[in-house]
Amino acid sequence: MKHSGSEEFIRQPVVAGPRGFYPSEPEKLRLEVQGYLNAAESKEQGMPLGLIAPHAGYVYSGPVAGWAYRQLQGCRYQAVVVLSPSHYEPVPFASVLCEGAYQTPLGIIPVDVDCAKELVAQSDGAAECSRRGHLNRGWGASEHALEVQLPFLQVALKADFKLVPVVVGDTRWEACRKLGESLAKLTATHDVLVVASTDLSHYHSYSEAYRLDEQVIAVVKAGKAREVAEGCRTRQLEACGGGPIAALLAAGEAMGGLEVHILKHATSGDVPFGSQDQVVGYLAAALYRRTNV
């Protein structure tokens, strides 16, 4: 990883605050996240291997994200791999931060350096150790999709975990497949949770959003990794985190299949103050190892 300076890299939060995606005051943030967790239901299926969770402002997507993270109640992991799309910076690979830490108002989450480097080494060139996509360049120019997952993880897991932050820039199927296979190898030797950060359809009418989102949900539920990757790239399917979802499902395929539990689907038009003219879709899902393999 090429960089200058000898100080440890700590990625500061960029979308916290009054005009951001979530509160910057620690206690207010903790209470808000806990409220979303309390309002969701636990399916009590054991420890998830993967989650799919949305990444919009908490007042819109928080009620859905709460369903994903509620499934972590009582779970412990060595590390959490968060797979994020790249909204702003073109990155021609999966950019894995292999140093330092991410920080939120709830504290610092150190990078699991060994797991990060192992993920890169086993990816057959699909991933690289890099700061690309991880730098804080200010509002509107920094990746939020990874950051907004972290306070949920800190509350749900009681901050007792390390992080492997991954910005998935190359969303072609072959790249997603290689990243997924590397994730499968990592989960075989380490206690790791994989989170795919994604929203679904963007800025359609309320009824049209539900129609489009059901197409994505059906493919995800069936575990069809390649169909997700290629469908999102050709815009036959709408999910801004199609690459992260495909990589997570590809990891499941490499492990002989995962059980996909769809937990919650809603849109920004489902909250009391959300307009139904143009909405964004949100999905929460949990993935578990098959018990019959």
d(CA 120, CA 171): 16
Residue 292: pLDDT band with limits 50, 70, 90: low
Is residue 4 scored above 60 in pLDDT?
no
Is residue 99 scored above 50 in pLDDT?
yes
Q: Which of 258-262, 270-274, 281-285 has the lowest mean pLDDT?
A: 270-274
d(CA 81, CA 202): 25
d(CA 184, CA 252): 7
- 149, two tokens: 């997952």
Contact by Cβ (8 Å): 76, 192: no
- 170, two tokens: 């190359």
Q: Which residue has the tokens 């009620």?
A: 63
- 26, two tokens: 């620690």
Contact by Cβ (8 Å): 191, 80: no
Q: CA neighbours within 13 Å on the CB side: how many for 9?
A: 18
Class of domain 20-289 as given by CATH: alpha beta
Is residue 30 scored above 60 in pLDDT?
yes
Residues β-bridged to residue 102: 11, 109
- 132, two tokens: 């690309």
Is residue 2 scored above 60 in pLDDT?
no
Q: Which residue has the tokens 């009681």?
A: 158
pLDDT tens string 129-159 = 999 999 988 877 899 999 999 999 999 999 7
**Per-domain boundaries in the chain:** 20-289
The predicted pLDDT at position 45 comes to: 81
d(CA 196, CA 142): 18
Contact by Cβ (8 Å): 224, 173: no
Q: What is the mean pLDDT of residues 236-256?
A: 97
Q: Which of 3-7, 135-139, 196-200 has the lowest mean pLDDT?
A: 3-7
What interhelical angle do 173-189 and 242-254 show, nearest 10?
Answer: 50
Q: What is the mean pLDDT of residues 25-34?
A: 98
Q: CA neighbours within 13 Å on the CB side: how many for 103?
A: 13
Residues β-bridged to residue 110: 101
The predicted pLDDT at position 140 comes to: 74
